[in-house]
Structures are given as C-alpha cells and as structure tokens.
Amino acid sequence: MLMLGLAALEHFDMASDALFTGTSAACSDEITSLWLQSWRDVPGGGLMVPMLAKLGFSGVALFITSAYLPQLLSVMAPFAPFVALVFILLVMLWASFGWLVGLAGMLAVYALVICSPIGTFQMSFFHQQVDSEDLRLALYIGAEVVDLRGKGGPDTGAEARVALILGTKLVLENLLQLWLQSSYLSLSFDRMDTFARCQAMASIGVGLLVAGGKGLQIAAVVVSAFERGAGRAVRGCDIFTIILGAVAVVMMLGGFGGLAWVLAKVVFIFRCDSHVWNLSTGCVSPQS
C-alpha cells in the first residue's frame, strides 16, 4: 500500500508538472518580463538575463519538463531522448494550437506506445527485473525496487545506484520544477483567482511531498553507508572514499536546502507585498 501511495503521488506530480508547461506557455508574455526583472535583482543574476530572455519563461519550463517526461511512459534509457523530443514537439503544438490539439496528440502517442510491441517489450522487461532474485536495481515507472541486502551484508553497489538515481531525479525533476512553479505562483499571484491559486499550491505541495520522500531515501542510504565506512576510511587514509562520502553528504544537505528554499519562497508569497522573495535579497518587487 505504501508503494502504491508513493507511485500515485509520483504520477500525480509528473502529470501536474506536464500541465504546468502548457499553463506557463499561455501566460509567458506577461510573466517573462517580471521574471527577468527579478533575476536582475539577484547578485550575478543579470548575467543570465540575455539567455533567459531568448528562452522565455515557458521555454525554460519546457526545457526542465523534458528532463523527466520519458518517465510518464516508463521509457527505457535508449528510447528516452527520442520520446523526450516527441513530447517537446507535442507541448509546442499544445502551446501553438490550443490545449485540445496538444492533448489529443499526447494521448495518441501514449496509446501508441502502450499498444505497440515497444510497450509490450518494456513491460515484460520490467516484470523480469522485478521478479528476478538477482540483486539488481529495477526501475519501475518512477519507483525504485531494490534489495539492498547482500549475502555478506548490504550491497554497496545497489546502494550507490539508488543514491545516484534518486539524487538525479530529485535535482533534475523535483527541485527545478518546484523552483519554477513557486516562481510562477509568486509572479502571477495577483492575476490568479482563488481556484487557480489552490491548483498551483496543490501541485507544489505534492511536489514537496515527493521530493521530501526521495530526500529521506537518499539520507537513509548515505547515513547508513557513512556509519559503516567513515571510520575505516579515515583510519586507512582512503582519500577517494573520504572525498566521495563528503560529496554525498554535501549533495544530501543541498537537496534538503533546496526544498527549504522552495518552501520559504511559497511562505513569503503571502508575506511580501510583491509576493516575490529571493534568498539573497529578501522581498523584492519585480516591477521596480
């Protein structure tokens, strides 16, 4: 039941993030100028303005969304770049010709993959991995199915794969999307009605839950490995292991710091007169 609940949250989060791309495209003209102004108020952020101005707010949202959209179809790694490009084209179709055309195109691709031999092959591959008794990591539609217990103790290789894959998803999927959605909410807060604000808050809330769950999983793996190997690495002067462990700890703390940053941005939406808050400047006014 726990795995089912986590999988449901994961899929709801991915679906809401995909819909956010279309929403940001509809309001990109109004949001982009305000967003660029908020970047100018950040120390060093002005260097990013020319590139961000060319992309626009919706272009950045589209780029970030393409980093994880293949998960919606549980696409294996060799097919992921192709499917990501297809989804980018479909989202552009959505933005150019309306949500009905884009949605019909997305559903057609989704049905084609599920009903085609590609879909059958993928599902049979996943079932083989999940049913296998080997200590191998199975990627099953965004959920990590792995047995960390080896014959002589914990399987450090499996632990490393879990930490690497979860860490990649946490940064490229959750934190970037949460940062962008919280920025969108703060910049368009006065233009939204109550229902739209509740929708945006619900999407951010689910994203925080999913990202927090991944962060706790990473912490469990990193802390366990640190407790087992830190003393031995220090006594043996194993510089590589010490550096690797330090990087893992810094990444773990950075992940939780990113979640705290997004949560603070959401809180200050209701506390700042401009609804915009940055870590380095505090409350800012994008219209200044």
pLDDT of residue 56: 79
Of residues 191 and 79, which shows the higher confidence score? 191
How far is Cα 254 from Cα 252, in angstroms, rounded to an integer? 5
Instruction: Give the CA distances from residue 70 to residues 20, 75, 116, 234, in Å, rounded to whole numbers and listed in that order.
Output: 16, 5, 16, 41
In this prediction, residue 96 has a pLDDT band, given cuts at 50, 70 and 90, of low
How far is Cα 82 from Cα 193, in angstroms, rounded to an integer? 38
Of residues 116 and 95, which shows the higher confidence score? 116
**Whole-prediction pTM:** 0.65
pLDDT of residue 51: 76
Of residues 73 and 114, which shows the higher confidence score? 114
In this prediction, residue 95 has a pLDDT band, given cuts at 50, 70 and 90, of low
Of residues 269 and 222, which shows the higher confidence score? 269
Residue 265, H or E segment: helix 239-269
In this prediction, residue 136 has a pLDDT band, given cuts at 50, 70 and 90, of very low
The 10s digit of each residue's pLDDT in 63-89 is 777 666 555 555 555 565 566 666 667
User: If we measure between CA atoms, which residue out of 248, 279, 278, 280 comes closest to residue 38?
Assistant: 278
Mean pLDDT of 217-221: 80
Q: Which domain holds residue 160?
A: 2-142+152-284
The pLDDT of residue 223 is above 70: yes
Instruction: Give the CA distances from residue 284 to residues 37, 38, 139, 280, 287, in Å, rounded to whole numbers and listed in that order.
Output: 10, 7, 42, 10, 9
The pLDDT of residue 165 is above 50: yes
pLDDT of residue 186: 86
Any domain includes 41:
yes
Any domain includes 147:
no
Any domain includes 247:
yes
pLDDT of residue 87: 66
Residue type, 268: F
Any domain includes 53:
yes
Of residues 24 and 197, which shows the higher confidence score? 197
Any domain includes 219:
yes
The pLDDT of residue 212 is above 60: yes
Give the count of domains, the chain.
Answer: 1
- DSSP string for 150-197: ETTEE-HHHHHHHHHHHHHHIIIIIIHHHHHHHHHHHHSGGG--HHHH
In this prediction, residue 106 has a pLDDT band, given cuts at 50, 70 and 90, of low
Mean pLDDT of 240-244: 73
Most confident of 77-81, 138-142, 154-158, 281-285: 281-285
